[in-house]
């Protein structure tokens, strides 16, 4: 017995060491894209990230950041190490969990184990744990500062603790484990809510242990109790307690005239007193179950108390303070994630539904004077009969979602979706594309890192593939060996131990399919969402490990010697995770990747001192926050995210000074942009200002709620409008001259008035605030728009924008016909060649996935393209070639393959006289485009972008014709016509 336990312990720690080594060697040294920059910045200074926050993760990250010992460039590495360590511990507890389940399948005392039994149990545990170590999704989350690595740790340790509790016979000792589980569950709330969905399955473990003869009815009741506990924590505790406290808060403040926060304080004092008394009373009355339940609640609350950090830190108004949850109102909104809206799950409208009426929903409060007052109500929309359906899956009418629904489901324009369409989308897309595909990525193999890539089957060949697909480091075929092992383990556990099988099945279901049902995925996402289902993959890895036992048992008839059979099966099965690790290392190694932060610095360095920079998405905002908050880089630039500029709390923060950046020039007051106010300003042309309205006058009319720019809604309320499609703003030439930012050659073109057609589309709150900033700024501060923004975010002002790198500067000079702005060659040349960072971008050994090949690299190559193009237009061929050569040296094809932007380099090199380089680039791009298009036509699967490949071929053909390269033009035109005909046909 002691020998087995010692070996079990050693095996667990061995898998931990392997995982720790793997993740520590491949961890990113700086802030990755997406949420990582925000989490690192918020960990370093204990700020408030997006709802519902991750306070325990941030507190842990703060402790780890101290290990940087003052080296600000190492802070990101140490916060990333939180995920590394948490993920390695997840592997440790996974190994021990599989071992416990495998022991049950052996079904005999440890003292009777043969060496063969020990080998097969520990082999199963090691194989399952190591396979999960090298699984695509878990490895990805383990090497960056995201919450999913730590969330997996809490899932792993809670499930392990539940099965460990099951083995303890002494009730008093066992109850301590229940309290540990409760405390860990409370702590996990401060990381991510995913861990809570394990509770219904854990309730079954409790039922199976406490009941000698379990039955279906009892199991259903136990499961129901688990669901109730989940509901109590998810709805009753997390947002419920603060919501209940606010009821008492309103009573104390509005009725009793007491100061703000007095009711909240009283509520929590009363609540804690009642809970304490109940615990003491239940102990004295020897109500063991009640006492354990109350203590568990207390321990959940103790863990949940990490959220106090959110309110405390928000009260200090840090630079990153999303939702400003410093008081009861905002804290409740923060916990409920109200800024993200809601999705219908059981019954609701579909994408073709249009509201016919609107009711007043829940009241929305604000502080006014010394009271809380209702300033509006949340809208509740009413739809016509037949416009709603049960289990609505095709619900989203945002962005291009309606067109995607129709395209995916072949729904003609004007026709409503049926329940059949609804279910087809659910099974094919939500379960197939957004869950099953991800499961197979991890346990069968991944086609590539291209967005929407499928999974690989054992017979998927690497022959006759486009060279870029063959060379794609994320193309890893596991020949379905991990998946098949998982199926063996699933069936083996089903026949040997139905109780544990049901528990694992529910855990697998709730962290996967049930989660997809709850999330109700729309037809497109900003990125792949496999990381959400990492818990489901964890529980499949349990079956994968048990598959080793299944194989060993299956060979019993053919190999009688237990030790030989177990050793052979375990040894061969270990080759599966070894293969997974060997194949996946190159596309998970981020150790030399820095361009997420360099991209942020390049965007900031595109701006003049004390600039205002409008950005759009996560990847052109969060890395900038990291660069400023952690490394202190260009803190004079105020980054203004347009996705957040529609919220009242963010606008208020923009009106404060931060570091070296003064407050933004926003003249509108809080009541002009409070929640629900001026969210949309519909275009409604007014004859009196049809030919244009003064922008400053318009902002002042909005500010004073003047009826001149308002119309009544069907509800009777008044709403502000956009009364003209033309706006004008008188230019203060003295202020422009004083600022001295207009180049000498453009100074004669400075206008008296900035006049432009903004269009007849509705304005949204971010547009209104941008217009206010432009009107109020009076050219005092440089205003920039990131080149990564959507075209609608430029307010139709491109003809008044000067490109200076990765950003456009608003200018008092208009270039007619410059639909994409105009280039300041001297300034842009200086910025692009002397102020930009390109660490390891020319290293072909470094892995750059589609995120890097997208906006970061495109921004760089488009900037170099625009600069070279303008230099050629100016007649400076020598400098144009130098810029082109420099761009290809810092971002070469060997690291980031040529894209459609680079196809324009062919013409440029012809014009500079470097025909050899032009033809070399043309041949490379054309060959790859031909391969991609041929593959798509023959296989029915798309690699690359069809339109981009055709565009590149057309550009190359035109360039060769212009350069009188007849043979090359004919060659590439034949390729172009062949594929164009195929797609048109």
For 388-445, the pLDDT digits (tens) are 899 999 999 888 999 999 999 999 998 999 999 999 999 999 999 999 999 999 999 9
Q: Give the DSSP letter string of 259-314.
A: PTTHHHHHHHHHHHHHHHHHHHHHHHTT-HHHHHHHHHHHHHHHHHGGGHHHHHHH
Q: Say whether pLDDT at 510 is over 80.
A: yes
CB contact burial 491-526 (16+ within 10 A = b; e otherwise): ebbeebbebbbbbbbbbbbbbbbebbbebbbbbeee
Q: Which neighbouring-strand residues pair with 379?
A: 360
Distance CA 523, CA 528 (A): 12
Predicted local distance difference test score (pLDDT) of residue 702: 95
Nearest 5°: the CA angle 915, 919, 920 is: 115
Q: Rounded to two decimals, what is the model's pTM? A: 0.94
Q: Are residues 532 and 494 in contact, defined by beta-carbon separation less than 8 angstroms?
A: no
Residue 716 confidence class, pLDDT cut points 50, 70, 90: low
The CA–CA distances, whole Å, from 78 to 127, 585, 770 equal: 29, 21, 37
Backbone dihedral region for residue 839 (phi beyond 0: left; psi -120 to 50: alpha; all else: beta):
beta
> Is the C-alpha dihedral spanning 519, 523, 527, 528 positive or negative?
positive
Distance CA 512, CA 509 (A): 5
Q: Are residues 47 and 324 in contact, defined by beta-carbon separation less than 8 angstroms?
A: no
Residue 714 confidence class, pLDDT cut points 50, 70, 90: low
Residue 984 confidence class, pLDDT cut points 50, 70, 90: low
Q: Are residues 382 and 359 in contact, defined by beta-carbon separation less than 8 angstroms?
A: yes
Predicted local distance difference test score (pLDDT) of residue 560: 83
Q: Which residues lie below 8 Å from residue 638, measured CB to CB, with a gap of 6+?
A: 611, 612, 613, 654, 658, 661, 662, 664
The CA–CA distances, whole Å, from 108 to 99, 114, 211 equal: 14, 11, 21
Place of tokens 């690595």: 149
Predicted local distance difference test score (pLDDT) of residue 654: 96
Distance CA 905, CA 910 (A): 8
SS3 554: helix
pLDDT tens digits for range 277-336: 999 999 999 999 999 999 999 999 999 999 999 999 999 999 999 999 998 888 988 888
The percentage of residues in the chain with a pLDDT greater than 70, rounded to a whole number, is 99
Q: Within 10 Å of residue 806's Cβ, how many Cβ atoms? A: 29
Distance CA 331, CA 310 (A): 8
Residue 859 confidence class, pLDDT cut points 50, 70, 90: very high
Say what the alpha-carbon torsion angle 708, 709, 714, 716 is, to the nearest 10 degrees: -50
Distance CA 649, CA 673 (A): 9
SS3 807: strand
Distance CA 511, CA 531 (A): 11
Residue 344 confidence class, pLDDT cut points 50, 70, 90: confident
Structure tokens at 803: 């490109």
Predicted local distance difference test score (pLDDT) of residue 675: 86
Q: Are residues 121 and 105 in contact, defined by beta-carbon separation less than 8 angstroms?
A: no
Mean pLDDT across 142-171: 94
Predicted local distance difference test score (pLDDT) of residue 25: 97
Q: Say whether pLDDT at 985 is over 60.
A: no
> What values do phi and psi take at 896, rounded to 5?
-120, 110
pLDDT tens digits for range 454-480: 999 998 877 789 999 999 999 999 999
Say what the alpha-carbon torsion angle 260, 261, 262, 263 is, to the nearest 10 degrees: 110
Residue 436 DSSP symbol: I
Can you give the C-alpha Rg of the chain in angstroms?
Answer: 31
Three-state secondary structure along 747-787? HHHECCEEEEECCCCCEEHHHHHHHHHHHHHCCCCCEEEEC
Q: Are residues 57 and 43 in contact, defined by beta-carbon separation less than 8 angstroms?
A: yes
Distance CA 193, CA 510 (A): 13
SS3 321: strand
> What values do phi and psi take at 414, rounded to 5?
90, -10
Q: Say whether pLDDT at 1 is over 60.
A: no
Residue 35 DSSP symbol: T
pLDDT tens digits for range 832-843: 999 999 999 999
Predicted local distance difference test score (pLDDT) of residue 489: 97
pLDDT tens digits for range 916-951: 999 999 999 999 999 999 998 888 888 888 999 999
Predicted local distance difference test score (pLDDT) of residue 640: 97
> Is the C-alpha dihedral spanning 31, 614, 323, 396 positive or negative?
negative
CB contact burial 201-235 (16+ within 10 A = b; e otherwise): bbbbbbbbbeeeebeeeebeebbebbeebbeebbe
- Average pLDDT of the residues of the chain: 93
Predicted local distance difference test score (pLDDT) of residue 715: 64
Which stretch of 198-202, 538-542, 602-606 has the lowest confidence by average pLDDT? 198-202
Structure tokens at 568: 């052979």
**Chain mean position to CA 234:** 22
Q: Say whether pLDDT at 500 is over 80.
A: yes
923: exposed, middle or buried (Cβ count in 10 Å: 0-12, 13-18, 19+) = middle
Q: Which residues lie below 8 Å from residue 390, measured CB to CB, with a gap of 6+?
A: 346, 347, 419
Q: Say whether pLDDT at 378 is over 90.
A: no
Q: Say whether pLDDT at 982 is over 80.
A: no
Predicted local distance difference test score (pLDDT) of residue 381: 85
């Amino acid at each position: 017995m002691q020998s087995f336990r010692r070996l079990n312990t050693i095996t667990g720690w061995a898998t931990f060491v392997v995982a720790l080594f793997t993740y520590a060697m491949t961890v990113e040294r700086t802030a990755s894209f997406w949420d990582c920059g925000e989490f690192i910045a918020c960990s370093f200074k204990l700020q408030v990230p997006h709802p519902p926050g991750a306070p325990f993760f941030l507190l842990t990250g703060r402790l780890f950041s101290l290990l940087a010992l003052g080296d600000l460039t190492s802070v990101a590495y140490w916060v990333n190490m939180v995920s590394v360590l948490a993920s390695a511990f997840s592997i440790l507890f996974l190994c021990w969990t599989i071992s416990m389940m495998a022991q049950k399948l052996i079904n005999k005392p440890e003292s009777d184990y043969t060496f063969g039994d020990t080998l097969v149990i520990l082999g199963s545990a090691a194989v399952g744990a190591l396979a999960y170590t090298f699984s695509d999704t878990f490895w990805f989350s383990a090497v960056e500062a995201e919450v999913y690595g730590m969330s997996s740790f809490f899932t792993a340790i809670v499930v392990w603790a539940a099965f460990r509790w099951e083995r303890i016979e002494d009730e008093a000792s066992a109850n301590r484990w229940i309290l540990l589980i409760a405390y860990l569950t409370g702590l996990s709330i401060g990381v991510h809510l995913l861990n809570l969905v394990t509770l219904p399955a854990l309730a079954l473990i409790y039922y199976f242990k406490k009941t000698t003869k379990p039955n279906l009815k009892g199991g259903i009741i136990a499961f129901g109790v688990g669901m109730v506990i989940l509901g109590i924590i998810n709805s009753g505790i997390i947002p419920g307690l603060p919501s209940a406290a606010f009821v008492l808060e309103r009573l104390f403040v509005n009725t009793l005239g007491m100061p703000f926060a007095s009711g909240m304080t009283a509520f929590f004092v009363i609540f804690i007193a009642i809970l304490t008394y109940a615990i003491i009373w239940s102990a004295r009355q020897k109500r063991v179950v009640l006492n354990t339940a109350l203590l568990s609640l207390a321990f959940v609350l103790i863990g949940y108390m990490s959220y106090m950090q959110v309110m405390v830190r928000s009260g200090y108004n840090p630079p990153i303070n999303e939702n400003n949850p410093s008081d009861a109102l905002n804290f409740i909104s923060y916990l409920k994630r109200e800024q993200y809206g809601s999705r219908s799950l059981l019954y609701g409208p579909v994408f073709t539904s249009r509201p016919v009426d609107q009711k007043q929903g829940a009241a929305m409060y604000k502080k006014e004077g010394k009271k809380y007052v209702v300033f509006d109500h949340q809208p509740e929309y009413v739809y016509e009969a037949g416009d709603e359906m049960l289990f609505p899956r095709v619900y989203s009418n945002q962005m291009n979602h309606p067109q995607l629904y129709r395209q995916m489901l072949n729904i003609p324009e004007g026709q409503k979706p049926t329940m059949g369409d609804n279910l087809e989308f659910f099974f094919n897309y939500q379960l197939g594309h957004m869950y099953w595909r991800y499961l197979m990525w991890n346990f069968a193999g991944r086609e590539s890192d291209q967005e929407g890539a499928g999974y690989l089957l054992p017979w998927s060949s690497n022959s006759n593939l486009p060279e870029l697909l063959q060379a794609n480091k994320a193309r890893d075929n596991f020949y379905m060996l991990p998946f098949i092992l998982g199926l063996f383990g699933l069936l083996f556990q089903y026949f040997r131990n139905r109780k544990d099988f049901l528990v694992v099945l529910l855990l697998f279901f709730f962290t996967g399919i049930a989660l997809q049902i709850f999330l109700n995925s729309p037809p497109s996402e900003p990125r792949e969402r496999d990381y959400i289902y990492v818990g489901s993959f964890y529980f499949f890895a349990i079956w994968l490990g048990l598959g080793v036992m299944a194989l060993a048992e299956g060979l019993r008839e053919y190999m009688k010697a237990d030790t030989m059979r177990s050793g052979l099966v375990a040894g061969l099965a270990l080759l599966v995770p070894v293969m997974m690790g060997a194949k996946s290392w190159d596309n998970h190694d981020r150790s030399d990747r820095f361009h997420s932060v360099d991209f942020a610095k390049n965007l900031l360095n595109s701006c003049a001192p004390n600039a205002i920079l409008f950005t759009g998405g996560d990847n052109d905002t969060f890395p900038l926050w990291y660069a400023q908050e952690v490394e202190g880089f260009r803190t004079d630039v105020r980054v203004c995210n347009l996705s957040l500029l529609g919220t009242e709390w963010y606008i208020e923060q923009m009106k404060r000074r931060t570091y070296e950046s003064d407050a933004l020039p926003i003249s509108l007051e809080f009541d002009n942009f409070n929640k629900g106010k001026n969210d949309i300003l519909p275009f409604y042309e007014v004859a009196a200002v049809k030919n244009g309205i003064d922008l400053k006058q318009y902002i002042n009319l909005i500010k004073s709620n003047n009826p001149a720019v308002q119309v009544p809604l069907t509800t009777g309320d008044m709403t502000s409008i956009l009364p003209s499609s033309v706006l004008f703003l008188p230019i203060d030439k003295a202020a422009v001259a004083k600022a001295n930012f207009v180049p000498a050659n453009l100074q004669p073109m400075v206008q008296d008035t900035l006049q432009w057609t903004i269009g007849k589309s509705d304005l949204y709150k971010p547009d209104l605030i941008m217009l206010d900033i432009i009107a109020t700024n009076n050219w005092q501060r440089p205003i920039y728009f990131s080149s990564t923004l959507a075209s609608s975010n430029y307010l139709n002002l491109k003809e008044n924008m000067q490109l200076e790198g990765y950003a456009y500067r608003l200018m008092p000079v208009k270039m007619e016909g410059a639909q994409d702005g105009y280039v300041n060659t001297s300034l842009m040349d200086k910025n692009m060649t002397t102020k930009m960072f390109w660490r390891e971008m020319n290293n072909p050994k470094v892995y750059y996935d589609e995120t890097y090949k997208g906006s970061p690299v495109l921004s760089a190559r488009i900037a170099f393209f625009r600069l070279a193009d303008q230099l050629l237009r100016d007649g400076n061929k020598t400098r144009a070639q130098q810029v082109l050569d420099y761009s290809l040296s810092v971002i070469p094809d060997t690291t980031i393959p040529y894209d459609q932007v680079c196809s324009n380099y062919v013409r440029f090199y012809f014009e500079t006289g470097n025909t050899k380089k032009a033809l070399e680039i043309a041949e490379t791009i054309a060959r790859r485009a031909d391969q991609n298009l041929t593959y798509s036509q023959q296989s029915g699967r798309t690699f690359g972008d069809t339109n981009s490949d055709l565009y590149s071929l057309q550009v190359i053909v035109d360039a060769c014709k212009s350069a009188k390269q007849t043979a090359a033009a004919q060659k590439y035109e034949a390729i172009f016509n062949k594929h164009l005909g195929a797609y048109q046909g």
